[in-house]
Amino acid sequence: MAIAFKSPTTSFFQLKKNNPETHSFLRFSTQRFATPARRFTPMSAISTVPTVGLSETFTRLKKQGKVAFIPYITAGDPDLSTTAEALKVLDSCGSDIIELGVPYSDPLADGPVIQAAATRSLARGTNYNAIISMLKEVIPQLSSPIALFSYYNPILKRGVEQFMSAIKDVGVHGLVVPDVPLEETEILRREASKHGIELVLLTTPTTPTERMKAIVEAAEGFVYLVSSIGVTGARASVSDRVPTLLQDIKAATTKPVAVGFGISKPEHVKQVVGWGADGVIVGSAMVKLLNEAKSPEEGLKELEVFTKSLKAALE
């Protein structure tokens, strides 16, 4: 299924240069089918969903000897239309998988940056249906698969089956639920499997080896290695336990392993790649950038620059 998904960055720049007046992002959103075939071959312009899921993405990248770049942003911060644009920016800048966080009132696994993003998003009235509608519009325009990041209670409230079915319908490929330990994942795994959603599981520095083995056995899409003991948030350096943890996991499974929590600089990315990770996840740094920008448009521009710098570190 090797339809040309990846956009050559040169043509992206060219279009931007040709239209200095017009805001390039707005232009893309209004003329999606009129854009030159920089991204889509005519065939994929007809299909509504990128067909490649998380595992397949990793398989493809591995063949190319590449490491996956996986950014995370919170839906609805500063607002859903910016999120829609941000998804496109991240996609066009070479993200391989994109994690999208569903805002929750009590995000226990998240540090101050992502907590604040969730609060802002909820204050704006972001809700599940709005996120689904937005994804329905945007996912067909993306080449990277989306993995949703959601706490358990909102999923339960909706009903696990309905949740899985709804996200599958709009083209989401994967799901990460940070507050459900392996023992409690039975229902999630069953419904995810039934609906073709890849349920990513997390392992951490405190997870004993035997338990880690059970987790990686059950994980789909990829294994999420939490790099440090604590909540999300940028740190000065990536924990030096990561190399050993990576080794242990790779001894237990051939599934791809992506490292997340605390990664915020190109140097961090280089380090993690050097240690043998199959993917690198960057969250708080992205969210912070979008929030600290003077305006959503500024934020999107900065996001682009930042994403490219991180992506470059993967080469």
Partner 1 sequence: MACNMRTDLLISQICPTSGHVSVKRRIGNASVVRAVVVDHNSLVKNIIGSTSSLIMKRPTLPNPQLVEETDNERKGCKGKFGRFGGKFVPETLISCLSNLEAEFNLVLHDAQFQAELATALRDYVGRETPLYFAERLTNHYKKNNNGEGPEIYLKREDLNHGGAHKINNAIAQAMIAKRLGRKSIVAATGAGQHGVATAAACAKLSLQCTIFMGTKDMEKQSSNLVLMKLLGAEVKSVDGNFKEATSEAFREWVGNLESSYYLTGTVVGPHPCPSMVREFQSVIGKETRRQAMDKWGGKPDVLVACVGSGSNALGLFHEFIKEKDVRLIGVEAGGFGLESDKHSATLAKGDVGVYHGTMSYLLQDEEGQIIRPHSVGVGLEYPAVGPELSFLKDTGRAEYYSVTDKEALNACQMLCRLEGIIPSLEASHALAFLNKLCPTLPTGTKVVVNCSGRGDKDAEMILNHKYYPMEKQFPASQNS
Binding residues for partner 1, rule: CB under 8 A, are 104-111, 122, 127-128, 152-158, 178-184, 201-208, 211, 215, 226, 229-231
Looking at beta carbons only, is 85 or 198 nearer to partner 1?
A: 198
Sign of CA dihedral 75, 78, 81, 84: negative
Residue 133 identity: S
Compute the least distance from the CB of residue 284 to partner 1, in Å: 13
Contact in structure between 174 and 198 (CB atoms under 8 Å): yes
Tokens 């990829």 locate to 222
Task: Report whether 206 contacts 212 (CB < 8 A).
Answer: no
Nearer to partner 1, 61 or 75 (CB): 75
Q: Closest distance between partner 1 and the C-beta of residue 222, in Å?
A: 15
CB of 207 to partner 1, least distance (A): 6
Tallying the residues shown for the chain, one arrives at 315
C-alpha to C-alpha distance for 42 and 18, rounded to whole angstroms: 23
Decide if 199 contacts 174 (C-beta within 8 A).
Answer: yes
Q: Which of 110, 191, 198, 304 is catalytic?
A: 110
In the complex with partner 1, the residue whose CB is nearer, 21 or 183, is 183
C-alpha count within 13 angstroms, C-beta hemisphere, residue 74 = 33
Q: How far is the CB of 271 from partner 1 (least distance, A)?
A: 21
110 is catalytic: yes
Task: Count how many Cα atoms sit within 13 Å of the Cα of residue 77 in the half-sphere of its side chain.
Answer: 28
* CB-based contact 252:212 (threshold 8 Å): yes
The position carrying tokens 């996991």 is: 249
Shortest distance, CB of residue 288 to partner 1, whole angstroms? 17
Nearer CB in complex with partner 1: 226/257: 226
Q: How many Å apart are CA 67 and CA 56, to the nearest integer?
A: 13
Please check whether residue 54 is in contact with residue 62, taking contact to mean a CB–CB distance below 8 angstroms.
Answer: no
Active site residue 99: yes
d(CA 8, CA 197): 29
CB of 74 to partner 1, least distance (A): 14
Q: Which of 85, 91, 99, 220 is catalytic?
A: 99
Crossing angle (nearest 10°) for helices 80-92 and 128-138? 40
Nearer to partner 1, 230 or 243 (CB): 230
Of 105 and 237, CB closest to partner 1: 105
**Shortest approach of partner 1 to residue 168 CB, angstroms?**
19
Q: Answer yes or no: are the C-beta atoms of 39 and 8 closer than 8 Å.
A: no
By beta-carbon proximity to partner 1, the closer residue of 8 and 125 is 125
CA distance 102 to 104: 6
Q: What is the token pair recorded at 188?
A: 């999630």
Residue 55 phi, psi (nearest 5): -60, -45
> Where in the sequence numbering do the catalytic residues fall?
99, 110
